[in-house]
Amino acid sequence: EAGVAQSPRYKIIEKRQSVAFWCNPISGHATLYWYQQILGQGPKLLIQFQNNGVVDDSQLPKDRFSAERLKGVDSTLKIQPAKLEDSAVYLCASSLVVRQAIPGELFFGEGSRLTVL
Amino acid sequence: AQSVTQPDIHITVSEGASLELRCNYSYGATPYLFWYVQSPGQGLQLLLKYFSGDTLVQGIKGFEAEFKRSQSSFNLRKPSVHWSDAAEYFCAVSFTGGGNKLTFGTGTQLKVEL
């Protein structure tokens, strides 16, 4: 079974430039997550989709970050304009349909490492 | 809001020695608890999880964890560490109605000396 695919693995940009990350979840996984992992910290949820609808984007800096999941499959996370503090690893994860009673296992991709100079 | 504390940033153990990584959580009701491992340049892999029932849970790679409600803890253990266990370990918490949202601790970096 193929895992969660992410690209690019590494990206270096200058501040105020834009960047986009792509994620393809495990086939059949309705729920998709983007996490931000800053060096020395645990991952922090940015946005959660179920199919192509947003479930939670409360911690997404909406003035500069945007994400979409067209057709309920793959997803793109965009940052525009980037700031120095956006330097982090952006992890995509997917899971089967979320049931409120019992959380499902999240499967993570290898991440996209962003360096903002 | 729920939170997770991993008090040890770095831990070094000798190969073959036992290991315990600490995790404390803050949440009013019974949480769902997880341990993930992250090797360099890799994504996170689930080691084990606790939802309910037996408070001692077994995971992959010979790891186990014990849920202690009275101490709000979910410590990860392994009786004999292998060099390949060197990685970063994250404790995470979720809860009923949380929509599968995980809150992670800051992680513990494990170094294994040969």
A48 chain-B contacts, CB cut-off 8 A? 99-101
CA nearest A91: which of A19, A6, A24, A20?
A: A6
d(CA A63, CA B57): 42
Mean of per-residue pLDDT scores for chain B: 91
Q: Are B51 and B100 in contact (CB under 8 A)?
A: no
What's the pLDDT tens digit per position in A14-31?
999 999 999 999 998 989
Q: How far apart are CA B65 and CA B48, in angstroms?
A: 8
Choose, out of B44, B88, B89, the residue to mutate when testing the contact with A (most A CBs < 10 Å).
Answer: B44
For residues B44-79, one letter each, b for 16 or more C-beta atoms within 10 angstroms of the residue's C-beta and e for the rest, the string is bebbbbbbeeeeebebeeebbbbbeeeeebbbbebe
Q: What are the pLDDT digits (tens) for B60-105? A: 999 999 999 999 999 999 999 999 999 999 999 987 666 678 899 9
CA–CA dist A110, B42 (Å, integer): 5
pLDDT at A73: 92
Which chain A residue has the Cα nearest residue B107?
A42
Q: Which range, of B6-10, B37-41, B65-69, averages the lowest pLDDT?
A: B37-41
Q: Is A98 on the interface with B (CB under 8 A)?
A: yes
pLDDT exceeds cutoff 90 at A96 = no
pLDDT at B28: 64
Measured in whole angstroms, the distance separating CA B18 from the mean position of its chain's CA atoms is: 15
Identify whether the C-beta of residue B103 lies closer than 8 Å to the C-beta of residue B92. Answer: yes
Residues in chain A: 117
Return the ∠ at Cα A38 (arms to B13 and A110), rounded to 5°. 75
Q: Tell whether A89 is within 8 A of chain B (Cβ).
A: no
Contact status of A102 with chain B (Cβ, < 8 Å): yes
Q: What is the pLDDT of residues A36-88, one digit of tens each?
A: 999 988 999 999 998 889 989 999 999 999 999 988 899 999 999 999 999 99
Tell whether A25 lies on the interface with B, counting CB pairs under 8 A.
no
Contacts of A62 by beta carbon, 8 Å cutoff, 6+ apart: none
Rg for chain B (alpha carbons), in Å? 14
Q: Among B16, B23, B1, which Cα is nearest to B107's?
A: B23
Q: How far apart are CA A51 and CA A8, in angstroms?
A: 23
d(CA B4, CA A66): 27
Residue percentage of chain B with pLDDT more than 90: 73
